[in-house]
Amino acid sequence: MMQVSLLDLNAQFSSIKEEVTQAIHSVLDSQHFIMGSVVKDFEEEVGNYIGANHALGCASGSDALLLALMAIDIKPGDYVITSPFTFFATAGAISRLGAIPIFIDIEMESYNIDPVKVREFLEGNDELSKRLSIKKEQIKAIIPVHLYGQMADMNPIMEVAKEFGLYVIEDAAQGIGSKYENKQAGTVGDFGCFSFFPSKNLGAYGDAGLITVKDDELAEKVDILRLHGARPKYHHKFVGINSRLDSIQAAVLSVKLKYLEEWSTKRRALALRYNDLFEKKGLSLSSTNSHLILPKETTGAPQNNGRHIYHQYTLRSSRRDELQKFLDENGIGTATYYPVPLHIQECFSNLGYVEGDCPNSMLASKQAFSLPIYPELASEEVEYVAETIAKFFAR
């Protein structure tokens, strides 16, 4: 039986082992581990790659979100709008500052926050806004998440944010290199928050993150906040945190960044191959005998000048749990991102949401699952996965 794991980081490591080992050794030889030239160089390289005005390293994607929110003075009693269908860190950062997340449901096609529903909420035209009755002045920002590697629908989000005076913080942890109308993730909003967690498209060998910032003054504030708010050293302008990108991680990331475009191209090709196989086997939504709802390129479609970089290849099935079990029995790794939407998490139960407030997120949490996708995945492996799924539905 073939074994296809959800992710194989070893395959990538063996392809860059010498280069990356040498880069780590040169940091060891320098004995300069914090905020040195290696970090500065990487910040410049990745900032250029993204096309950001400012790019600042930090300790993780979670800290990137926290620092962005700190830079705009989010405090207890403030509200921040975000998606309930995301990794916990997105909402966790809001709560850590004593602020309160507002969960607005996703679009079913893209799994990203629905700008129409954001507007309805802000205009007070939906049931949720009436029930929560939040004063407009208390709502400070919106965090759209570029889930699975496809950007949220940024134009209407930027429009509504401007109209209501909200900052926009892109959670681009899963979206490095993704595009919306030719603009890269992290360049549209006021901030972009990136994660270099090892399993992300650009993964470090430990925790690491990055914040991109549009405005010069806010960038300087993030720079100060990540060093305990001190400038100069020992003179504290703000109460910041300790959140730096360390030199060893920066050295690894500099090596890997050179390959990112090639890896993104490979991910896209694999995703299209999956689509093709499922359609040929008559399993996709477009066929009469539909069993699978394939990922859809919306903002990420090439005809929209977008790019989906497939951090995950995520599809839906009404028989998801059975199918995942069958795949596991046949040596294929899958994952469920995410089984419980944030609006019904226990820690947010005091916020007063019910399941029906975000029906699309509920449905996605019950039906969505992700298949193996990473640049080194072989085409025989993709074929084996597709064949095994066809076998499941033929039983």
Ligand X SMILES: *Cc1c(COP(=O)(O)O)cnc(C)c1O
Which residue's Cβ lies closest to ligand X?
A: 61
CA distance 34 to 222: 17
CA distance 12 to 100: 40
For ligand X, the closer of residues 63 and 297 by Cβ is 63
CA distance 168 to 52: 15
Sequence-ordered alpha helix ranges (H) in the chain: 9-30, 37-50, 61-71, 89-96, 115-122, 127-132, 154-164, 216-225, 247-257, 260-280, 320-329, 359-367, 379-394
For ligand X, the closer of residues 207 and 246 by Cβ is 207
Residues in contact with ligand X, shown as a per-residue x/- string from 195 to 234 under the rule CB under 6 A: x-x---------x-x-------------------------
- 263 to 86, 252, 269: CA distances (angstroms): 24, 16, 10
Q: Is 60 in the site for ligand X (CB under 6 A)?
A: yes
Residues in contact with ligand X, shown as a per-residue x/- string from 66 to 95 under the rule CB under 6 A: --------------------xx-xx-----
Q: Is 174 in the site for ligand X (CB under 6 A)?
A: yes
Contact 190, 165 (CB under 8 A): no
Q: CA torsion sign, 256 to 272 to 382 to 373?
A: positive
Q: Is 310 in the site for ligand X (CB under 6 A)?
A: no
* Beta carbon of residue 337, minimum distance to ligand X (angstroms, whole number): 8
Q: Which of 260, 296, 292 is nearest to 278 (CA)?
A: 292
Span from 129-137, 169-177, 182-190, 345-353 in contact with ligand X (CB under 6 A):
169-177
What are the tokens at 23? 């880069």
* Beta carbon of residue 209, minimum distance to ligand X (angstroms, whole number): 5
For ligand X, the closer of residues 68 and 292 by Cβ is 68
Q: Is 275 in the site for ligand X (CB under 6 A)?
A: no
* Beta carbon of residue 290, minimum distance to ligand X (angstroms, whole number): 29
For ligand X, the closer of residues 61 and 240 by Cβ is 61
Of residues 120-149, those binding ligand X (CB under 6 A) = 145
For ligand X, the closer of residues 278 and 313 by Cβ is 313
For ligand X, the closer of residues 107 and 381 by Cβ is 107
CA distance 358 to 80: 16
Other C-beta atoms closer than 10 Å to the C-beta of 40 total: 13
| Site size with ligand X, rule: CB under 6 A | 15
**How many helices (H) and strands (E) would you count in the chain?**
13, 11
Span from 56-64, 252-260, 264-272, 378-386 in contact with ligand X (CB under 6 A):
56-64
Span from 8-16, 135-143, 171-179, 262-270 in contact with ligand X (CB under 6 A):
171-179
Q: Is 61 in the site for ligand X (CB under 6 A)?
A: yes
Contact 211, 58 (CB under 8 A): yes
Span from 48-56, 136-144, 167-175, 384-392 in contact with ligand X (CB under 6 A):
167-175
- 321 to 241, 285, 339, 385: CA distances (angstroms): 41, 19, 11, 16
- 194 forms bridges with which residues in the sheet? 210
The binding site for ligand X (CB under 6 A) comprises: 60-62, 86-87, 89-90, 145, 171, 173-174, 195, 197, 207, 209
